[in-house]
């Protein structure tokens, strides 16, 4: 029971709600003002940055929401994937290591 | 280019059905892209055009939805250690050059042979590339499955071993996905071809991912994940170019993104549950099915160019509808395989966890 409670506690429900509301707000603003936005965003020249910036904003806000959404539903990557992340192979460089040289320690 | 603003002004009115349609297609496209690194875009452009969106606006809006989607997917898969950012960025820069050159070729063909000539060029590119690369990828996936070595670590191809063995002073770069140094001179033609294909059929990944796997020697998971970085670099540059001409309909891009960001997260999660050959299988299956879809359109364009007997309007309509239906079927089949593989992977992991708990108890 305590394990189940622990799992529930870990789920980012609060963050999902915050990002979900921000995302909904963004889409409502976009669709309610579509006439003005379309006219402004299609002027070309420097106005070209507006659709690009909006696309970035959607990817950050809505992307955050969708990520938390699947986490809350319990759809997450297998633990093996997280383990693989920490067990990445070390690069093999073709440098030569100094070899230990035999030394003569004999006394005359 | 002067008539473009007029075309851009013809942005469609959105109703609930249009929004729902774009959302669903975006979700399925995102799911496949999250899994194989690309592949969702080819249905979206004709899908938007079927709603009455002008061709250039559909291409521009598709591209503007592609780069934020690829960004989210790349970040997600980077968390699983599957992304080689350095390879993705270098590959992406050469791909960007390919996109601009591919678009230039398209313009030349359109100016010389009109819309039908341009469409024929696109369809022939689809058929040739998908037949050669798709056939090879699918054959390799089936071979791996039949060999019973699906669980074994992927072998680096002979070609990739040769590429990795060539040392050209001053051009060698270490890539973590390859765990080897490769000359950047090999990346130029591969990236360029990826970009050219993206400018021609909207899916550069059909060359990008197989070339990273078979020519450079990246594992399937890393190749498909790194392709998302390439798609981001290509999509950002292309979107800005289209936005400069006022062609991006941000409403369409935004609605597709609403669905595709759900899909891409799910597709990325799915990659952690499956065996590497599944990436090749999904990619190969989609490529081969899409090949038939485009092959059906070749007679239509040949007839429009007067190279074969003129087809009746009803025949053209049947061929167009069938072609679109096959394309949608390809995407749905890919999505089905991804979801099924993910479901089975989750089920197997749950069974293993339960077994471990019982053993510990």
What the block records as the tokens of B347 is 């089920």
Residues 148-177 of B with CB under 8 A from A: 174, 176
The pLDDT of B308-332, averaged and rounded, is: 88
The pLDDT of B41-70, averaged and rounded, is: 84
The pLDDT of A8-37, averaged and rounded, is: 90
Percent of chain A having pLDDT more than 70? 64
Do the beta carbons of residue B308 and residue B302 sit within 8 Å?
yes
DSSP 8-state class, residue B180: E
What whole-number distance in Å separates Cα of residue A68 and Cα of residue A3?
21
Residues 30-89 of A with CB under 8 A from B: 30-31, 34, 37-38, 41-45, 47-52, 54-56, 58-59, 62-63, 66-67, 69-70, 75-82, 84-85, 88-89
Q: Within 10 A of B191 (CB to CB), how many other CB atoms are there?
A: 28
Question: What is the pairing mode between strands B180-183 and B172-175?
Answer: antiparallel
Instruction: Tell me the β-bridge partners of B183.
Output: B172
From chain A, pick out residues whose CB is under 8 angstroms from the CB of B251.
30-31, 34, 37-38
What is the predicted pLDDT for the residue at A24? 96
- pLDDT tens digit string along B191-201? 999 999 888 87
- The whole-angstrom distance between B317's CA and the closest CA on chain A is 33
What is the predicted pLDDT for the residue at A105? 67
Q: Label residue B64 by pLDDT band (50, 70, 90).
A: very high
Q: Is B79's CB within 8 Å of A67's CB?
A: no
Distances (CA, A) of A105 to A100, A102, A108, B189: 15, 10, 10, 59
The pLDDT of B141-158, averaged and rounded, is: 82
Do the beta carbons of residue B291 and residue B130 sit within 8 Å?
yes
Distances (CA, A) of B343 to B269, B274, B308, B346: 11, 10, 48, 5
From chain B, pick out residues whose CB is under 8 angstroms from the CB of A63.
68, 71-72, 75, 261, 265
The pLDDT of B302-319, averaged and rounded, is: 88
The pLDDT of B7-31, averaged and rounded, is: 81
- The whole-angstrom distance between A81's CA and the closest CA on chain B is 5
Q: Label residue B111 by pLDDT band (50, 70, 90).
A: confident
| Residues written for chain A | 108
- The whole-angstrom distance between B129's CA and the closest CA on chain A is 31
Q: Label residue A9 by pLDDT band (50, 70, 90).
A: low
**Closest Cα in chain A to B175:** A91
The pLDDT of B202-212, averaged and rounded, is: 89
Question: DSSP string covering B236-267, please?
Answer: HHHHHHHHHTT---HHHHHHHHHHHHHHHHHH
Chain A interface includes B67 (CB < 8 A): yes
Q: Does residue B49 or residue B292 have the better pLDDT?
A: B292
What whole-number distance in Å separates Cα of residue B260 and Cα of residue B252?
12
Residues 222-251 of B with CB under 8 A from A: 236, 239-240, 243-251
What is the predicted pLDDT for the residue at A33? 92
| Number of CB pairs, chain A paired with chain B, less than 8 A apart | 136
- pLDDT tens digit string along B239-296? 998 899 888 999 999 999 999 999 999 999 999 988 888 888 998 998 888 888 888 8
Q: Label residue B215 by pLDDT band (50, 70, 90).
A: very high
Phi, psi of B276 (to 5 degrees): -55, -35
What is the predicted pLDDT for the residue at B216? 95
What whole-number distance in Å separates Cα of residue B161 and Cα of residue B180?
10
Cα–chain-centroid distance for residue B210? 11
Which range is most confident: B81-95, B96-110, B267-281, B343-357?
Answer: B81-95
Q: Is A67's CB within 8 Å of B251's CB?
A: no
Whether the predicted pLDDT of B17 surpasses 80:
yes
What whole-number distance in Å separates Cα of residue B98 and Cα of residue B93?
9
Long-range interactions of B120-125: CB distance < 8 A, separation 24+: B120/B298, B120/B301, B120/B302, B120/B305, B121/B200, B122/B200, B122/B201, B122/B294, B123/B294, B123/B295, B123/B297, B123/B298, B123/B301, B124/B298, B125/B197, B125/B200, B125/B201
Q: Label residue A69 by pLDDT band (50, 70, 90).
A: very high
Q: Does residue A89 or residue B312 have the better pLDDT?
A: B312
Of B174, B262, B345, the CB nearest to A91: B174
What is the predicted pLDDT for the residue at A102? 65
Q: Label residue B213 by pLDDT band (50, 70, 90).
A: very high
From chain A, pick out residues whose CB is under 8 angstroms from the CB of B261.
58-59, 62-63, 66
Instruction: Tell me the β-bridge partners of B182.
Output: B173
Do the beta carbons of residue B14 and residue A34 sit within 8 Å?
yes
What is the predicted pLDDT for the residue at B210? 93
Q: Label residue B85 by pLDDT band (50, 70, 90).
A: very high
**Closest Cα in chain A to B19:** A31
Q: Label residue A100 by pLDDT band (50, 70, 90).
A: low
What whole-number distance in Å separates Cα of residue B353 and Cα of residue B349?
6
Do the beta carbons of residue B18 and residue B259 sit within 8 Å?
no
Percent of chain B having pLDDT more than 70? 96
Mean pLDDT, chain B, as a whole number? 87
Q: Label residue B65 by pLDDT band (50, 70, 90).
A: very high
Question: Residue A13: CA atoms inside 13 Å, Cβ hemisphere, count?
Answer: 5
What is the predicted pLDDT for the residue at B209? 92
Q: Label residue B149 by pLDDT band (50, 70, 90).
A: confident
Whether the predicted pLDDT of B187 surpasses 90:
yes
Q: Is A81's CB within 8 Å of B240's CB?
A: no
Q: Does residue A98 or residue B102 have the better pLDDT?
A: B102
What whole-number distance in Å separates Cα of residue B101 and Cα of residue B191?
12
Do the beta carbons of residue B182 and residue B105 sit within 8 Å?
no
Whether the predicted pLDDT of B142 surpasses 50:
yes
- The whole-angstrom distance between B248's CA and the closest CA on chain A is 7
From chain A, pick out residues whose CB is under 8 angstroms from the CB of B179.
89, 91-92
Q: Label residue A82 by pLDDT band (50, 70, 90).
A: low
């Amino acid at each position: 029971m305590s394990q189940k409670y622990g799992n529930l506690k870990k789920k980012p429900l609060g963050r999902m709600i915050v990002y979900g509301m921000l995302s909904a707000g963004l889409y409502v603003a976009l669709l309610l003002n579509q006439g003005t936005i379309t006219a402004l965003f299609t002027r070309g020249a420097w106005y070209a940055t507006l659709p690009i910036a909006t696309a970035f904003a959607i990817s950050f806000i809505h992307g955050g929401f969708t990520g938390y959404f699947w986490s809350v539903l319990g759809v997450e990557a297998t633990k093996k994937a997280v383990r693989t992340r920490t067990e990445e192979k070390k690069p093999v460089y073709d440098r030569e290591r100094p070899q230990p040289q035999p030394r003569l320690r004999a006394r005359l | 280019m002067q008539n473009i603003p007029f075309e851009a002004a013809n942005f469609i009115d959105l109703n609930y059905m249009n929004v729902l349609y774009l959302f669903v297609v975006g979700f399925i496209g995102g799911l496949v892209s999250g899994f194989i690194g690309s592949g969702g875009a080819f249905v979206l452009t004709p899908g938007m055009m079927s709603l009455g969106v002008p061709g250039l606006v559909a291409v521009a809006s598709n591209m503007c939805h592609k780069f934020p989607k690829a960004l989210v997917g790349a970040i997600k898969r980077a968390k699983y250690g599957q992304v080689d950012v350095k390879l993705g960025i270098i590959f992406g820069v050469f791909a960007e050059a390919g996109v601009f050159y591919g678009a230039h070729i398209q313009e030349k063909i359109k100016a010389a042979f009109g819309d039908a000539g341009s469409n024929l060029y696109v369809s022939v590119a689809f058929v040739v590339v998908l037949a050669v690369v798709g056939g090879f990828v699918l054959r390799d996936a089936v071979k791996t499955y039949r060999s019973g070595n699906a669980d074994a670590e992927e072998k680096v191809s002979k070609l990739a071993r040769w590429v990795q063995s060539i040392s050209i002073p001053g051009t060698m770069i270490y890539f973590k996905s390859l765990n080897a140094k490769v000359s950047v001179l090999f990346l130029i033609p591969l990236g360029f071809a990826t970009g050219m294909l993206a400018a021609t059929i909207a899916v550069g990944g059909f060359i990008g991912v197989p070339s990273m796997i078979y020519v450079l020697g990246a594992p399937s998971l890393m190749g498909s994940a790194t392709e998302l970085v390439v798609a981001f670099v290509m999509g950002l540059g292309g979107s800005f170019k289209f936005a400069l001409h006022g062609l991006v309909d941000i409403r369409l891009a935004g609605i597709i993104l609403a669905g595709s960001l759900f899909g891409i997260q799910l597709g990325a999660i799915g990659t952690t549950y499956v065996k590497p050959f599944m990436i090749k299988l999904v990619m190969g299956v989609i490529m081969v099915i899409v090949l038939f879809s485009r092959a059906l359109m070749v007679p239509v364009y040949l007839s429009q160019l007067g190279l074969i007997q003129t087809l009746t309007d009803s025949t053209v309509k049947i061929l167009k509808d069938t072609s679109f239906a096959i394309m949608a079927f390809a995407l749905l089949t890919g999505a089905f395989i991804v979801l099924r593989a993910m479901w089975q992977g989750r089920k197997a992991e749950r069974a293993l966890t339960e077994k471990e708990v019982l053993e510990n108890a």
